Structure 1
Amino acid sequence: MPIYLMSERTRSVTIPSQALALSITGSVAEAVLNVHAAADQPVVRSSSQRSVLPIVIGPLVVSVRPARGDFFGPDTVVQLAIGPDTADGVDPVQVVFEPVDVSGDSDVELATLTPTGTRIEIAVSAVADRPLNPLGTAARAAARKVVGRRSELSSHAVVIAVDASASMRSAFSNGSVSAAADIVVGVADAVGITDVSAVLVAEKPVPVPTEPAGTLADSLRNVEPRWSAGARWSTIAGNGARTVVCTDFPTQTLRQRFPVIAISNDPRLETDCAVLRPPRPGADAAAEVLSQPAVLERIAISLVRGLM
């Protein structure tokens, strides 16, 4: 039995024309399998998670949508499989797709089927996400509620310009800065940007070194800034990347020039920048914002506007 595993590396295969069964597994209670095709395409739906195509007449799209509500909830992972409707054939072909995390999405196209003579071309539409840590994954899902799922990568880069003023000591020590980095990485990934780095801004920008096995948040958690009396934001202009500023003192001029994550308890700042409140004493900043999905969604939406 030939088995094809569809992924980023194997984006399409062709199989003999035959009656096909399409099914999803995983978080199936939260998902409904859809087949989008011309009116004359026969589709036999045996359940919300399984459909049969007695014949493939023309191009069609296979997708999933939430069973309840407008968006998939957190940790919703589905896996598509396509194979013969019966086991009577000799050496039947099975096409298995990588599991896809659809959290935060509303309607996700998984695959396309296109008849070509006596064969059917099956192509991947949604590939598995690159792994992020829990806060980055949640931020990506929150951003997708705004931008949807994007399959093309962007050539742009993002630089997080972190204020290295002495007043930011607590933001580094309580984990707020590393949490902000996780959020930016997740939101950037949602809009197709995977090149995210950081600089510490004092008299001039100082790149934050990263380890191959670590994350940007890890690097910011372990970095030892040379504290200054203030950040010279004029030094970060013209670097060719999209800059996100992380500071505890976002001036109006700064908010007008850059997307900003403000480490602050001032709700007035939420009108024109993302606000990440410092955690309670002894609490973990990442865990704290993860426990407040509405807050994370507000931050993600604000950043999306600045990165698009």
Structure 2
Amino acid sequence: MATYVLDGKASATLPRRPLAVQLATATPTTGVRLAARTADGASTRVIQQSPGLLILPRVDVETTIVAVPDAGRSNFDQGTVVHVSFGPDGGNDPSADIAQLTPRDVSGMSFIELATVAPDGPDTLVVQTRLTIPDAPLPPLAAKARVACRGVLRLDQVPEADAVTVRCIVDSSASMAALIASGAVAAAGDVVAGVAAVVGDRPTIACTRADGATEEIAPADLGEFLSRPPGNGFGLLMGSRPTSPAVGRSLTVIITDGPGTGLTIGTGPRSGEATLVISPSRAATTRPGFIGAQIEPPQPGGDPREALIASPERLTTVVAGLLAATELGSVRR
């Protein structure tokens, strides 16, 4: 018996016989159902023994296995992590090979393609994962922001043709010192990192601070990078744009404690430029032409990261505000 764990672009070859697709979820409720369809979108012959157990008696054409919300839901519940395996129907053969997909958090999404099953000669089937980009490890808040971004866009990963270059500009004026010390700026960086993990076209985020110098930071490291004071000190205010202009599709997020600093550059929906304001007041977000979102600084002794993790609805609102600066609404399902 061999167990194939499929991630990236991996595939597995299984005997061509009736195939069982089984689903387990790491969530206190169910609400997930497996389905199968062919390349033209038509349904194919299956035996649906339960929402989480699908039998393919025969596979003659490429068939896509998907997960959809069940029990009247329009989206998957928060905290829904799907675990999917493929093996022979019956499960009585201890020597049978099994293919498993890497677990995937689908919270807030309304649909996800999991894998394809296709004939490969008279005796074998090929199972190919559709989760082509494995989830890279991220800090807890960044991982939650990634989940929120998927929920807003209703997809697992933005197609390559729609991906954007993600950039981050950080206000380094003196008023930001307390927000860096409290962890609020790091929390904002984690949110940007989570969004970049879904919509970004590069493995790094271009981050610009203080003197206008830009560093390429991995999403997993952005929050930690922004938890440290700028090397040139505070009180330095950049011009309104990075030293090198964005080329092609982009999302530039300005992290600041309020519009009016000279950093706010978003001028309207789909401008590619959004402002993430760290302020106890939402007044800044009501200004005409504002595109972006607001997060509150922590109370004394509070943890801004934990506060956002504990409020998935608020985190989703923040992520949606940043995405409003892009054209990614066109790829929503």
Normalising to structure 1: TM-score of the pair?
0.86
Q: Distance in 2 between matches of 1:131 and 1:72?
A: 22
1:255 equivalent among 261, 266, 269: 266
8 Å CA contact 1:181–1:217 kept in 2: the answer is yes
Instruction: Give the counterpart of 1:215 among 189, 209, 221.
Output: 221
Give 3-state SS (helix, strand or coil) of 1:254's partner: coil
Structure 1: where are the runs of 5+ without partners? none
Q: 181-190 vs 56-65, which deviates more?
A: 56-65
Q: 1:33 aligns to what?
A: 34
The alignment status of 1:299 with 2:299, answered yes or no, reads: no
Kept in 2: contact 1:126–1:151 (CA 8 A) = no
Alpha-carbon separation, structure 2, partners of 1:248 and 1:237 = 24
Q: Say if 2:207 is the partner of 1:198.
A: yes
**Comparing 64-73 and 31-40, the one that deviates more:** 31-40
1:303 and 1:91 map into 2 onto residues whose CA distance is: 50
Tell me if 1:46 matches 2:49: yes
Look up the SS of the partner of 2:4 in the other structure.
strand
* Offset from partner CA, 1:236-282 (integer Å, 9 cap, x none): 45254642111113238623273111112332333422111212222
Contact 2:158 2:199 in 1 (8 A): no
Partner of 2:331: none
- Measured in 2, the distance between the counterparts of 1:199 and 1:218 equals 15
Mapped partners of 1:87, 1:166: distance in 2: 65
Aligned residue for 1:46, secondary structure, equals: strand
Contact 1:208 1:223 in 2 (8 A): no
1:77-88 paired onto structure 2 within 5 Å = 77-86=81-90
1:220 to 1:56, Cα distance in 2 relative to 1, 3 A: same
AA of the residue aligned to 1:123? Q
Aligned in 2, Cα 1:192/1:174: closer, same or farther, shift over 3 Å? same
Supply the distance in 2 between the matched residues of 1:213 and 1:70 (Cα, whole angstroms).
30
How many Å apart are 1:230 and its aligned residue? 3.4
Is the 2:208–2:242 Cα contact (8 Å) retained in structure 1? no
Partner-residue secondary structure (3-state), 2:66: strand
Q: Is the 8 A contact 2:180 2:228 kept in 1?
A: no
Q: For 1:47, give the aligned amino acid.
A: S
The code of the aligned residue for 1:36 comes to R
Residue of structure 1 aligned with 2:281, choices 255, 260, 266: 266
Q: 1:130 offset after TM fit, Å?
A: 1.4
In the alignment, structure 1 residue 63 sits paired with structure 2 residue 66 = yes
Residue 99 of structure 2 aligns to a residue whose secondary structure is: strand
In structure 2, runs of 5+ residues without a counterpart are 329-333
Q: Distance in 1 between matches of 2:191 and 2:139?
A: 10
Give CA deviations for 1:158-190 in whole Å, capped at 9, x if unaligned. 221111111111211111110100000001112
The DSSP-based 3-state class of the residue aligned with 1:168 is helix
2:168 corresponds to which of 157, 160, 163: 160
Checking the alignment, whether the CA contact within 8 Å between 2:166 and 2:200 is kept in structure 1 is: no
Counterpart pick for 1:290 among 288, 293, 309: 309
Query: Could you tell me how far 1:229 is from its partner in structure 2?
Result: 5.4
Whether the 8 Å CA contact 1:208–1:220 is kept in 2: the answer is no
Give distance in 2, aligned partners of 1:234 and 1:2: 54
Aligned amino acid, residue 269 of structure 1 = A
Residues 41 and 57 in structure 1, CA contact (< 8 A), matched pair in contact too: no
1:123 to 125, 128, 136: 128
Shift of 1:18: 0.7
Q: Hey, what's the Cα distance between the residues in 1 that align with 2:242 and 2:61?
A: 57
Q: How large is the Cα RMSD of the aligned pairs?
A: 2.9
Q: Deviations over 1:5-27 (max 9, x none)?
A: 211152x2333311111101232
The equivalent of 2:17 in structure 1 is 18
Shift of 1:206: 3.5
% identical equivalent positions: 27
Q: 1:114 to 1:297 in 2, by over 3 A?
A: same
Aligned pairs (5 A) from 1:225-244: 225=231, 226-228=233-235, 230-234=237-241, 236=243, 238=245, 240=247, 242-244=251-253
1:122 aligned counterpart, secondary structure: strand
Please state which structure has a larger fraction of its residues in helix: 1
* 1:188 alignment partner, SS class: helix
Determine the C-alpha separation between the residues in 2 that align with 1:254 and 1:180.
17
